[in-house]
Amino acid sequence: MKRITAIVRAEKLEALKDALFAAGVRGMTIVQVQGCGSQHGWKEYVRGTEVLLNTIPKVQFDLVVPDEQVDGVVDVICRAAHTGEVGDGKIFIAPVEEVVRIRTGERGALAI
């Protein structure tokens, strides 16, 4: 099993969620996050004073999938989140040792 963490543009939330559902992914956690990368933020003026905002709102999707589904899920994320501009996001993939469904006690792939 692998944990896929995708950090994408906030405006891609609905498109990515719909694409994942259409691909058969049912379990996901979605969190609004702040971060910075190549974009480095922007300047705004607050009461006449210039303020550098160096974090940008993003959305983080966390999914746990069987090993054989990783490439397909990554492809879905890339297609749905792509704009071609700086700031499209990143995908991180990490191994998951165990999953336990609290309600039933099921473990492993049955608990996903």
For 68-88, what is each residue's pLDDT tens digit? Answer: 999 999 999 999 999 999 889
Residue 51 pLDDT level (bands cut at 50, 70, 90)? confident
Q: How far apart are CA 110 and CA 112, in angstroms?
A: 6
Q: How many separate domains does the chain show?
A: 1
For 4-46, how does the pLDDT look when each residue is reduced to its tens digit (9 = 90+)?
A: 999 999 999 999 999 999 999 989 999 999 887 776 666 778 7
Give the model's pLDDT for residue 101: 95
pLDDT of residue 89 exceeding 80: yes
Sequence length of the chain is 112
Angle, vertex CA 23, rays to CA 31 and CA 16, nearest 5: 35
User: CATH code at 17?
Assistant: 3.30.70.120
For residue 15, the enclosing domain spans 2-111
Cβ–Cβ under 8 Å, residues 16 and 33: no
